[in-house]
Structure 1
Amino acid sequence: MSAQIEEAAATGPAPRIGKGGAPPPRRGRGRGAGSVPYLLILPTVAAVVLLLGWTLVKNGLLSFQNLNKRQLIQRVTEWTGVDNYDTVLRSSEFWHVTGRSVVFTAANVVLIMAVGCLIGLLLARLGTKLRLLLSLGLVLAWAMPVVAATTVFQWLFDQRFGVVNYVLDALGWHSMAGYNWTSGQLSTFFVITVLIVWQSVPFVAINLYAATTTIPKELYEAASLDGAGTWKQFTSVTFPFLKPFFLATTFLEVIWVFKAFTQVFAINEGGPDRLTETLPVYAFQEGMGSQHFGMGAAISILTIVILLALTAYYLRLVLKQEEDEL
């Protein structure tokens, strides 16, 4: 008996066992651990509130005011309530621009996702050297500043000295030798669409390739043994596995294209005859161009509301997908 007591003293007290054989929870340890994640994200939240929240509040207050040159000079604040919103929502031009923005966004997103997915799948099938070369080109296109890329496309589609007109003329389309790409609505939108798709495809392609590396190769081997071809493997293996990626990326591209301002404004300032204005450009033209700052603020707030509606629709799709998986 004494030997057993000495052995127990040497080894220390026996571990306590909780319910089901699991070790009992340790008391006095981990207190306050639940607040650690909130403390970690606190600087980011503070920066977002400071840089974006206050600006949004000021813009919201401005949307309820009548502010133009006279009010700026006299430093007078004229509160008009919801008159700016009433004027905007009753304007047929606002709804025309909204419909145009939706169609423009949908066309760009479809092209971006289609081309980006094809290039992403191509990256997954290329060898190491070719994949590295193509990835480098995608990263360089993606990293180019928006203003610089827009300037390059202005040169490419220039009426007199543009490379595009020169190449088309050399290929036999002589009528395109001096073609003005910004003279019509469709041609201007074509240039803007090519620019936006060119800037957005690298993001989709690189992320899709990264996502394909997480798919177990055994799934493709099993599909190949069952006689599935390339398209069948994509529809039965790749797409179902990457469905969350497609939803998230499509949602991000919708937001990015819908709020695109620099490309649309720099190409032709929403022209000709304001026929290529989207909602961000329309808000700028009404606010800064026409000196109706309250009206421009109201349009920008309505643009945010539309984006919030798109966000709610996306979250509904995600939640529905999670419910279906359960």
Structure 2
Amino acid sequence: MAVQLDGAAAATDQAAARTGKGGAPPCGRGSRRGRGAPYLLLLPALLATAVFLGWPMVRNLVLSFQNLNMKELIQHLTEWVGTGNYREILGSEQFWRVTLRTVVFTAVNVVLIMVLGTLIGLLLARLGKTMRLALSVALVLAWAMPVIAATTVFQWLFDSRYGVVNWVLDAAGWHAMTDYDWVGTQLSTFFVITVMIVWQSLPFVALNLYAATTTIPKELYEAARMDGAGTWQVFASVTFPFLRPFFLATTFLEVIWVFKAFPQIFAINQGGPDRLTETLPIYAFTEGVGNLHFGMGAAISLLTIVVLLAMTAHYLRLTLRQEAQEEHEEAAL
């Protein structure tokens, strides 16, 4: 009997060695295939990205090293200038002026979007069911409106002769605004564009913020109010710490969206008056397509991508720093 038991135990040990711990199959060819399955699933998306994004980027990079104007385009000539386009752009005062203008324009819009979107999102969390539904529907309708359609509406609203804005201001006693040309100066044109971009961006921030507030335990709010915390203290000590990742991600997305805004600015006044409202995307289009300097436009567009990549790197550094801080706090607890 003992011999039989010893033999059975040995057979069991051999079977366990063949199958692995817990009866699982050993790490072999099948396991390696299982690890490669996610990459196979990602392959179609990677191929589509390489074809529709990667290849145009490569062509744009090659074009940026050429002097391609209408003459070269018609005669199918290739005139290589090396880094000449980049040297000319980086040595141009206009490029740096447009870059500074783009950064300031982006910063002003993003601050307004995040502040107003946060206030509306917090308002949604406090409203009753009926008013919350009505406001949510209004936000969704504003968000769903196509960009060009919204731009056309704003052109009608701020029209100098038949615009509703001038009519309301005149009726309110501000008669100097009767025939005011909103796209006649740099500041007024930027004001119209800013109002339009902020209006289009608020729904995304407000609705996402409201959705994020629903994940915060209500007991934390009750405890904060029992301790005598006011509205601002509740937001700073309860709401903001929970929503910090949301604010970082949303701010980053809004920076990208505003920085590369093209149809709103171009449709309002094509970067006018006197090219004073050109941002980097408008500047690249004007130089490349408008002035038929396609190599120059390609170089400007690539420099625009470099600026966005620098912003992305800064965002990733903030995110990693936040994750490290949270891990340190969890370890301390």
Q: Could you tell me the TM-score, scaled by structure 1's length?
A: 0.92
- Residue in 2 that maps onto 1:275: 276
Report whether the alignment pairs 1:194 with 2:195. Answer: yes
**Aligned pairs for 1:81-96 within 5 A:** 81-96=82-97
Aligned to 2:25: 27
1:313 is the counterpart of 2:314: yes
Aligned to 1:257: 258
1:28 deviates by: 4.7
Partner of 1:10: none
Shift of residue 178, structure 1, vs aligned partner: 0.4
- 1:150 to 2:144 alignment: no
> What is the distance in 2 between the residues matched to 1:45 and 1:133?
41
Q: Which amino acid aligns with 1:323?
A: A
Aligned-partner Cα distance in 1 for 2:140–2:42: 29
Q: Secondary structure at the match of 1:111?
A: helix
The equivalent residue for 2:49 is 48
Matches within 5 A, 1:101-250: 101-250=102-251
1 CA distance for matches of 2:38 and 2:165? Answer: 53
The residue type equivalent to 2:265 in the other structure is V
Distance (Å, rounded) in 2 between the aligned partners of 1:37 and 1:202 = 35
Cα distance between partner residues in 2 of 1:140 and 1:279: 30
Shift of 1:171: 0.6
- 1:43 CA displacement: 1.8
CA apart distance, 1:25: 6.4
Contact persistence 2:160–2:182 (CA under 8 A): yes
Deviations 1:130-175 (A, max 9, x none): 1111111111111111000000000000000000000000111011
Across the aligned residues of Structure 1 and Structure 2, the Cα RMSD in angstroms comes to 1.9
Deviation at residue 225 of structure 1 after TM alignment: 1.2
Per the alignment, do residues 77 and 125 of structure 1 end up closer, same or farther by CA in structure 2, a change over 3 Å counting? Answer: same
Identity of aligned residues (%): 69
Matches within 5 A, 1:285-304: 285-304=286-305
**Aligned position for 2:71:** 70
SS in 2 for 1:43: helix
Gaps of 5+ in 1: 6-12
Aligned-residue offset at 1:222? 1.1
Q: What SS does the aligned partner of 2:22 have?
A: coil
- Alpha-carbon distance in structure 1 between the residues aligned to 2:271 and 2:191: 13
SS in 1 for 2:255: helix
**1:40, distance to aligned residue in structure 2 (A):** 2.2
Q: Larger helix proportion, structure 1 or 2?
A: 2
Q: Unpaired segments of 5 or more residues in structure 2? A: 6-11, 328-333
Rounded to whole Å, the distance in 1 between the matches of 2:43 and 2:171 is 60
Q: Once the two structures are superposed, what CA deviation does each residue of 1:220-277 show, in whole Å capped at 9, x if it has no partner?
A: 1111111112111100000011000000000000000000001111100000000000
- Superposed displacement of residue 46, structure 1: 1.6
Find runs of 4+ consecutive structure 1 residues off by over 6 angstroms: none
